[in-house]
């Protein structure tokens, strides 16, 4: 078995693609689902299409609920990444921190639909 991708629903394709491109993802393709929706596949350089964003026509919002946690990605330099994201209007929920002494620095940002993305410094 292999985990091949994660999917969640979005409300604006271009806005979401721009957000994930700011995090370093590449758009790999847009695929129509009949006249109901569009799937956008994205991936990080050198990796597979790990993120599927689904835009359902005519839907302008979703309940995130209490079950969703976050998607995590690693970054080489958290401060440089946050500086680059700030230039695009993306701010962390709070300043970087460590969960435990000696652990990696991390912080969270939210995508345009409110999904949390954890940035973990390598």
Catalytic residues: 118
Distance CA 22, CA 20 (A): 5
Q: Are 29 and 51 in contact (CB under 8 A)?
A: no
Distance CA 85, CA 24 (A): 10
Angle at 113 between CA 110 and CA 115, to 5 degrees: 45
Distance CA 79, CA 21 (A): 18
Q: Are 35 and 82 in contact (CB under 8 A)?
A: no
Q: Are 73 and 57 in contact (CB under 8 A)?
A: no
């Amino acid at each position: 078995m292999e985990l091949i991708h994660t999917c969640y629903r979005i409300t604006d394709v271009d806005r979401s693609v721009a957000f994930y491109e700011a995090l370093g993802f590449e758009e790999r393709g847009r695929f129509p689902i009949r006249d109901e929706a569009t799937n956008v596949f994205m991936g990080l350089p050198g990796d597979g299409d790990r993120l599927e964003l689904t835009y359902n026509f005519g839907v302008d919002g979703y309940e995130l609920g209490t079950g969703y946690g976050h998607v995590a990605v690693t970054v080489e330099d958290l401060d440089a990444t946050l500086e680059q994201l700030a230039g695009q209007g993306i701010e962390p929920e709070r300043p970087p921190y460590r969960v435990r002494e000696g652990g990696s620095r991390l912080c969270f940002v939210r995508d345009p639909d409110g999904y949390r993305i954890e940035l973990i410094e390598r």
